[in-house]
Chains A and B, each alone.
Chain A
Amino acid sequence: MNCKKVRGLLMTDYVDGELRPGIRSRIKEHLTGCSGCRTLEQALQKKAVEPFKNAQKVQAPGIVWEGIKEAIAVPERVPVFIIRRPAFALAACAALIFLMAVFARPFFISHGPVAEYMQEQAEFFAYLDTGANGFMDEEGIGLGTSIEEYFL
Chain B
Amino acid sequence: MQDISKELLTQASTGDIQAFEEIYRLASSFVYSVALRVTRNADEAKEVSQDVFIKIYNNLRSFRFRSSFKTWLYRITTNTALNVLKKSSKDINRRVNYDVALKANDDSATATHAIEMDDNKKLLSSLLDMLNPDQRACIVLREIEGLNYREISKALSININTVRSRLKRARETLLAHGKRGDRP
Q: Which residues of A contact B (CB under 8 A)?
A: 8, 11-13, 15-16, 18, 43-44, 46-49, 51-61, 63-65, 67-69, 71-72, 76
Residues of B within 8 A of A76 (CB): 58
- CB-nearest residue of chain B relative to A65? B24
A71 and B167 within 8 A (CB): no
Report 23 cross-chain contacts, Cβ distance below 8 Å, ordered by A residue. Answer: A8-B168, A11-B168, A11-B172, A15-B171, A44-B175, A47-B174, A47-B175, A48-B178, A49-B143, A51-B127, A55-B124, A55-B144, A56-B106, A56-B121, A58-B33, A58-B102, A59-B29, A61-B46, A64-B28, A67-B46, A67-B50, A72-B17, A72-B20
- The chain A residue with its CB closest to the CB of B27 is A60
Which range holds the interface residue count of chain B?
35 or more
Given contacts A12-B164, A51-B123, A58-B101, contact A64 B57 (CB under 8 A): no
Please measure, in the bound complex, the distance between the C-alpha atom of A68 and the C-alpha atom of B12, giving whole angstroms: 14
1/0 per residue, CB under 8 A from A, across B118-148: the answer is 0011011001000000000001001110001
Asked, given contacts A48-B174, A61-B46, A61-B104, whether A12 binds B139 with beta carbons under 8 Å apart, the answer is no
In angstroms, Cα B142 to Cα A13, docked, is 11
Query: Min CB distance, B59 to chain A, in Å?
Result: 10
Asked if residues B49 and A43 are in contact (CB atoms below 8 Å), the reply is no
Smallest CB separation, A78 vs chain B (Å): 11
Which listed residue, A11, A18, A59, touches B28 by the CB 8 Å rule? Answer: A59
CB-nearest residue of chain B relative to A16? B142
